[in-house]
Amino acid sequence: MGPYLLGLRLSGRRVLVVGGGRVAQRRVPALLEAGAEVTVVSPSVTPALDDLIAAGRIIWHARPYEVGDCDGAWLVQACTDDRSVNTAVAAEAEAKRVWCVRADDKDAAAAWTPASGRVGEISVAVTAGGDPRRAAGIRDAVVEALRDGTVDARRNRTKPVGVALVGGGPGDPGLITVRGRQLLAQADVVVADRLAPRALLDELAPDVELIDAAKVPYGRSLSQETINDILVDRARQGKFVVRLKGGDPFVFGRGGEEMIACAEAGIPVLVVPGITSAVAVPAAAGVPVTHRGVSQEFHVISVHVAPDDERSTVDWPGLARSQGTLVLLMAVERLPKVAEALLRDGRSPDTPVMVVQDGTLPTQRAVVASLSTVADRVSAAGIRPPAIVVVGDVVRVGQEVEMVRAERLP
């Protein structure tokens, strides 16, 4: 017969784990998360369990199992690699009417540990006839569906309210955070930027209102004031609004302005950070923004106005003197003036530069040049926004990695 599934509330209750190896290492954290008072009996334990012991999270008796160890336990886990020990533990537990899980023999165990997962307030537990790998595979599929919202996300009684400012990451839809994907699936209204991962919008339910808030350079644009008004208006209608942005909402994303507008209107705001393209795009092109012995700092600069523009607040002479990596956003159209300013203020003409277009997307491509030649090279290659410009010796690190890879190819 199949097992009778039951959720045990273990908070404040003693659980005995016999064995200190890899199986115990996997099971103890879940028991602690459930609030159990865990006692481990084993002559030795793994380093991970040792850390929990040192932190006072679990009690450890550094000895073999003894009859009487099951006294006072609500649940017993027999996790040793010695079948005779596990049999003895299970026999004592059975005699004392304590549920016992055996790691080595599902048929001889009084209880099974399911493959479990948790998403928010939802717990998932799967048993598959005692087959742990199959159960784990099914568990993973259900948990993933809950996380990305494909399972019943919008029928939740405790649905979020107000506005969520969600960072969508650098472009690849797989790089949005789990929390961001989950909230997107719960939205009644989505206000999406041009650089947001638009492939995710195809997954929205048909009744979700999708508002295009694209700011096309030198083209159509929805003013920031209008966007703020839309967020407040829809939230006041009782709808849950997701403001989906590229990168991170607070890295040149005007997330702060939208948060203030909502706060002034009394609208609750949830912020979900995203992976900023300033770091992710160079990484996708094989370039670390910092590297030991090369650069211990990096600067992220918005070049929405040129260095000689009176509206610029950037200390270009200071950046030219710096030995750190420069990551330039919105710089392609003004790259000639940027290069001119850096060269004038002291950066070496031989400083390597990489310009990456459509970073993390299938259409990603890159141009590598020196600071003195990069503007002409980018123009000749037809590089267009969105693109990230990386200035500094870390570009050579990326080239070195590519050379090593090429040498190892058959």
- Catalytic residue set: 193, 215
DSSP result, 271-307: EE----HHHHHHHHTT--S-BTTTBS-EEEEE-SS-T
Q: What does the angle CA 319 – CA 322 – CA 323 come to, to the nearest 5 degrees? A: 135
Q: How many angstroms separate the Cα of 329 from the Cα of each of 82, 161, 187, 356, 386?
A: 60, 33, 30, 11, 8
| Beta-strand pair 387-391/163-167 | unpaired
- Spatial neighbors of 363 by CB under 8 A, at least 6 apart, are 357
Q: Residue holding tokens 């909402």?
A: 249
| Beta-strand pair 59-61/241-245 | unpaired
Q: How many C-beta atoms lie closer than 10 Å to residue 96's C-beta?
A: 14
DSSP result, 249-260: TTSSS-HHHHHH
Residue 110 DSSP SS3? coil
